[in-house]
Structure 1
């Protein structure tokens, strides 16, 4: 019997025998635990109950009618080796007018409406959930939908009502030993048994994340510690001020200097900045004046979300670094910066939670638009251990939707090697577990590790490892087992060998020159924090953002594809691990110590320090167009610069 016949029979059965299809009176009091921590997560302390009258916005992620269809479609449009014509069916709008959704060959990305159809939940679960909410007195006026009906937002729910709704105990929490802002969370929550098969997760509930850890900031190192770190990294400095790496170094090293973007009317590079971060135009102008004279007129657009405010004279170092290096690599491609307010926590002293989740607010905004930027980078992340699996999976599926829409989404792998020792030790057993970073651990984004020197080696703080939430994706099923076989029994029990490997690729991450508030600094890392002013005597470098270097290179590749009438790359990883692999420079030296261990070592092929390696733009370009194989001249390259390319 065909799918359509089964659907028709189910509709007729529902109309004729409704009592056999849906229980008339589900037991809303039959609560079953959805997720809970055994205790308050490590490094968090409770500050007690929130003030009377506190409200919270709850976001409910629903399971789609066909959970595998989204990922199957994502691979079909993202893998150059996928079949040429593949059809996916969605339930018909009526029994007489079936809708057939075409998700065909590589590069045929879907529209907003097609993705919404693909992930839409069944009507039956929505009826159940509406009945459940009505039972608890949640007014319909406070309920809205997004992501094709796959998410419900319950606005302004009193905390007392949320506790009854979810069998929860919301309290105020703060990261131990910090002046960080407080967040409103619960260590566990439950749902009626009948809803478990229909609801993927609800946020915010058990997701604990510090506003400080979002920036992936490593500890400040003393002079001695920095010297020791340098001694373990045999580095040949490329060039620049006080040994700093400059944009010209990166453009020559990764061979982008000969490419001149032409599809600037079609292309766009988007950056998401959280906690109210935003870049400054004056610092960008000075940076370009010093580092790339042909790009002094570089500019960007700022999109303010969730109460973020823009003061161009008071930029954050995180956003400044992001914008400066994305522009240095991809100019004159248009740049869009999403400045997202600090909704992950309340404002200091208010003890009231800000509405929404930071990633959800941004994802909802971008996915609701008719067009998504072909390249999107974000320099933020949290420890995967603070993210409940269902929460992480729900967000990961939204990143998959971005890929299906044609966006290449890029995140840093972290700045603490395999983890800081205090975060690795299990308080109950004393055992050590490596700490991967999320969203870098999501298999539907591209995660970036760090390198240093020329020839390049892995930088010691490059985050890497294996996810505890996500299984090994199909594009890693050759590369990762090869590494694990060489690793043998080393670190058994400290990581998940069946998990998604991190990172995918890498780029320079140490001693990068930037401008912050009209002053020059040298910074290091795969993400960023407060930099160290140049000249620096006796101060250690803090992290910068190599994610933007990779984002700039991917944006140039997207520019070329758009200029010849083709679709942008979209979700990168199936291409990187396959057809694009000849365009990657393998990094075989260095390691990422942490958790009281030497960490993983770089090796031939993929490794959990630098991934596949660093990008070679010209060879990646050649992999996109068989008319111009490696070693021949592509007309997109500037002939006056081509002879100078290394």
Structure 2
């Protein structure tokens, strides 16, 4: 029998529907949806014979222990320090238990859905099967409807709530279709939530310099080396230590790279030097007309690490990379370096989210027609990512799941560096509440990555003088204002490795703003979350960087510059470790960095303005503007070489 009931009839029949499949005393509501946007309209009851593609996300094991496990292998005082896990070890640790798999399968079999109909994912994360509309409604004691977004025409099947046996609840994360409706997107094409942390450049020729005389006006590779005491590379690079750099919707230009290499001949980087491609889901590079973000990354990294090479993680085909058709970010990258991420479940998300690109890409004639790439690339020891967005721009579960994946990468020995953002205590999405509450950036605020802020060399100072926090008003020198991103997360609490540093900042340099604690945004007029994870962790120069872009010698900047500088330094030190006969990977670095603050040049001048305020202030020791400070290569090398 076909059942179609219009929305107008829905109100009149609510009592009937709620009573249609009453939950017995053995069942409990597993998920229940609250109010939804008025854009979701014309709810129609699903057909009784409709094919429903069902996924049951099994609850991961030990995820609540993930933080402690990572700290155990990342803390130099632990007996398990740097005893990194294999990919298989990580998968097995967090995979659902055999007990969960068995319990859920027995429940399904008792409901008429036998094992022969069920597909179990390779990583054990979910069970999938096809059921009729009637079967699924009877299984979950609920009614399903087809919803339509009145603005975009997007359709989705969902229920207001659903039930599962009480003894099954602890084994299930969530079920799809369930209560969730897709993240609403705008009717017209929009840019992605995420953008390169800084892609501005001054549309003029910058003065040429290949020494350290005018570093207050132009930061060249020689200036970076002088600021942080980085010597020219002398060891033979390890073939297993390529530096990883992430790019999306921005492409390097080989001619620009060659011009840059020619401009700085002392680094002896031959023309034609280019990153090793790790193209993900139809991505391609280089392009003839380059992007300032990619050129900036490579022109900063190569002089530090050469003759070591770079691995380019370029993601997504042009249809999705432009940002017009997907709002998510990083999931396809994480899929490609960890196959289990393609199917793992967390907080209502199993596999890729509706925000993410969908492959094969049937929406574009030139789109990638292959399957979503899962686990095809091994992650490099160090990965630099200069893309950021605000914490509030996507669902919390989406961000938490990605942050957990960075935790797992740390367990495998991968060091991940993120730019902290270019909008001070705000974000590119603006401020929160009544436009006064500080808006933290992500993934910069994830506690399992190293967040890198930006510094600058003020006018009339030399490379032997202290840097200050990068904070430039609009037009000086960039088109828009730029302030190094920093603050306190609204999602993650203060991790133990930085607890003393944050407490010291609050005790000795208390910010002059009201604050709130926890998840009640703006409580008592607060502007920031006093109990949130502080960021950035470290910093490096990010202002007036010399680059070639589309044939012009000019300047660029932002924390986009800071992240690859710091990541390149760590990558160089790993080469030094390998040359000294030691194991290379260093994994998650924050615990050891916070224990060795004397390996940094402390930044004590400047603020990160935003949201109508001066933002936070730098201070002796860690601060939420420049973190622990900028690297001192010899001191940091000594710390990391001798652990």
Partner of 1:476: 498
When residues 420 and 72 of structure 1 are mapped into structure 2, their CA distance, relative to the original with a 3 A threshold, is closer
Alpha-carbon offset, residue 366 of structure 1: 1.1
Partner of 1:582: 598
Q: 1:462 aligns with which of 464, 474, 484?
A: 484
Q: 1:396 aligns with which of 391, 403, 426?
A: 403
Q: 1:378 aligns with which of 375, 380, 385?
A: 385
What is the rounded CA distance, in whole Å, between the counterparts of 1:401 and 1:212 in structure 2?
Answer: 26
When residues 64 and 316 of structure 1 are mapped into structure 2, their CA distance, relative to the original with a 3 A threshold, is same
Q: Does 1:283 align with 2:306?
A: no
Contact 2:390/2:427 (CA < 8 Å) preserved in 1? no
Partner of 1:257: 231
Contact 1:270/1:373 (CA < 8 Å) preserved in 2? yes
Partner of 2:86: 111
Alpha-carbon offset, residue 283 of structure 1: 2.0
Partner of 2:74: 78
Alpha-carbon offset, residue 388 of structure 1: 2.7
When residues 421 and 246 of structure 1 are mapped into structure 2, their CA distance, relative to the original with a 3 A threshold, is closer
Q: 2:439 aligns with which of 421, 427, 435?
A: 435
Give a deviation string over 1:469-510, Cα, whole Å, max 9, x none. Answer: 111101011000111223156232111111110100011111
Give a deviation string over 1:140-162, Cα, whole Å, max 9, x none. Answer: 9996746x44x55979999xx99
Partner of 1:514: 547
When residues 621 and 206 of structure 1 are mapped into structure 2, their CA distance, relative to the original with a 3 A threshold, is farther
Partner of 2:569: 553
What is the rounded CA distance, in whole Å, between the counterparts of 2:100 and 2:303 in structure 1?
Answer: 49
Partner of 2:308: 333
Q: Does 1:448 align with 2:452?
A: yes
| 1:173-572 aligned within 5 A | 192=163, 197-198=170-171, 211-216=191-196, 239=213, 243-275=217-249, 277-292=250-265, 293-297=267-271, 298-341=273-316, 358-368=329-339, 371-419=378-426, 423-426=430-433, 430=434, 432-453=436-457, 454=461, 455-460=466-471, 461-485=483-507, 486-487=509-510, 490-492=513-515, 493-527=526-560, 545-567=561-583, 568-572=585-589
When residues 475 and 436 of structure 1 are mapped into structure 2, their CA distance, relative to the original with a 3 A threshold, is same
| 1:609-624 aligned within 5 A | 609-624=625-640
Deviates more, 1:129-138 or 1:441-450: 129-138
What is the rounded CA distance, in whole Å, between the counterparts of 1:496 and 1:113 in structure 2?
Answer: 37
Alpha-carbon offset, residue 107 of structure 1: 1.5
What is the rounded CA distance, in whole Å, between the counterparts of 2:379 and 2:74 in structure 1?
Answer: 16
When residues 466 and 623 of structure 1 are mapped into structure 2, their CA distance, relative to the original with a 3 A threshold, is same
Partner of 1:596: 612
Q: What SS does structure 1 have at the residue aligned with 2:614?
A: coil
What is the rounded CA distance, in whole Å, between the counterparts of 1:184 and 1:245 in structure 2?
Answer: 51
Contact 1:421/1:594 (CA < 8 Å) preserved in 2? no
Contact 2:194/2:329 (CA < 8 Å) preserved in 1? no
What is the rounded CA distance, in whole Å, between the counterparts of 2:131 and 2:286 in structure 1?
Answer: 32
When residues 587 and 501 of structure 1 are mapped into structure 2, their CA distance, relative to the original with a 3 A threshold, is same
Alpha-carbon offset, residue 33 of structure 1: 3.2
Q: Normalising to structure 1: TM-score of the pair? A: 0.70
What is the rounded CA distance, in whole Å, between the counterparts of 1:48 and 1:296 in structure 2?
Answer: 63
Alpha-carbon offset, residue 322 of structure 1: 1.5
Contact 2:212/2:226 (CA < 8 Å) preserved in 1? no
Give a deviation string over 1:47-87, Cα, whole Å, max 9, x none. Answer: 999xx9xx9999987542222443222112211111x2xxx
What is the rounded CA distance, in whole Å, between the counterparts of 1:124 and 1:250 in structure 2?
Answer: 55
Partner of 2:478: none
When residues 468 and 141 of structure 1 are mapped into structure 2, their CA distance, relative to the original with a 3 A threshold, is farther
Alpha-carbon offset, residue 167 of structure 1: 7.0
Q: What SS does structure 1 have at the residue aligned with 2:195?
A: coil
Alpha-carbon offset, residue 208 of structure 1: 7.3
Q: What SS does structure 2 have at the residue aligned with 1:310?
A: coil
What is the rounded CA distance, in whole Å, between the counterparts of 1:424 and 1:449 in structure 2?
Answer: 19
What is the rounded CA distance, in whole Å, between the counterparts of 1:464 and 1:188 in structure 2?
Answer: 40
Alpha-carbon offset, residue 240 of structure 1: 5.5
When residues 66 and 590 of structure 1 are mapped into structure 2, their CA distance, relative to the original with a 3 A threshold, is same
Contact 2:201/2:554 (CA < 8 Å) preserved in 1? no
What is the rounded CA distance, in whole Å, between the counterparts of 2:112 and 2:286 in structure 1?
Answer: 43
What is the rounded CA distance, in whole Å, between the counterparts of 1:170 and 1:345 in structure 2?
Answer: 25
Contact 2:31/2:163 (CA < 8 Å) preserved in 1? yes
Q: Normalising to structure 2: TM-score of the pair? A: 0.70
Q: What SS does structure 2 have at the residue aligned with 1:113?
A: helix
Q: What SS does structure 2 have at the residue aligned with 1:279?
A: coil
- Count of residues in Structure 1 that have an aligned counterpart in Structure 2: 526
What is the rounded CA distance, in whole Å, between the counterparts of 2:399 and 2:114 in structure 1?
Answer: 26
| 1:26-105 aligned within 5 A | 30=29, 32-33=31-32, 62-82=58-78, 84=79, 105=80
What is the rounded CA distance, in whole Å, between the counterparts of 1:326 and 1:156 in structure 2?
Answer: 50
When residues 221 and 520 of structure 1 are mapped into structure 2, their CA distance, relative to the original with a 3 A threshold, is closer
Structure 1 vs Structure 2 CA RMSD: 4.6
Alpha-carbon offset, residue 257 of structure 1: 2.2
Contact 1:415/1:526 (CA < 8 Å) preserved in 2? yes
Q: What SS does structure 2 have at the residue aligned with 1:391?
A: helix
Deviates more, 1:182-191 or 1:376-385: 182-191
When residues 266 and 311 of structure 1 are mapped into structure 2, their CA distance, relative to the original with a 3 A threshold, is closer
When residues 506 and 170 of structure 1 are mapped into structure 2, their CA distance, relative to the original with a 3 A threshold, is farther
When residues 420 and 577 of structure 1 are mapped into structure 2, their CA distance, relative to the original with a 3 A threshold, is closer
Alpha-carbon offset, residue 517 of structure 1: 2.4
Deviates more, 1:214-223 or 1:411-420: 214-223
Q: What SS does structure 2 have at the residue aligned with 1:424?
A: coil
Contact 1:424/1:433 (CA < 8 Å) preserved in 2? yes
Contact 1:446/1:504 (CA < 8 Å) preserved in 2? yes
Contact 1:167/1:190 (CA < 8 Å) preserved in 2? no
What is the rounded CA distance, in whole Å, between the counterparts of 1:334 and 1:596 in structure 2?
Answer: 43
What is the rounded CA distance, in whole Å, between the counterparts of 1:57 and 1:261 in structure 2?
Answer: 55
What is the rounded CA distance, in whole Å, between the counterparts of 1:359 and 1:584 in structure 2?
Answer: 30
What is the rounded CA distance, in whole Å, between the counterparts of 1:289 and 1:611 in structure 2?
Answer: 35
When residues 463 and 79 of structure 1 are mapped into structure 2, their CA distance, relative to the original with a 3 A threshold, is same
Contact 1:186/1:206 (CA < 8 Å) preserved in 2? no
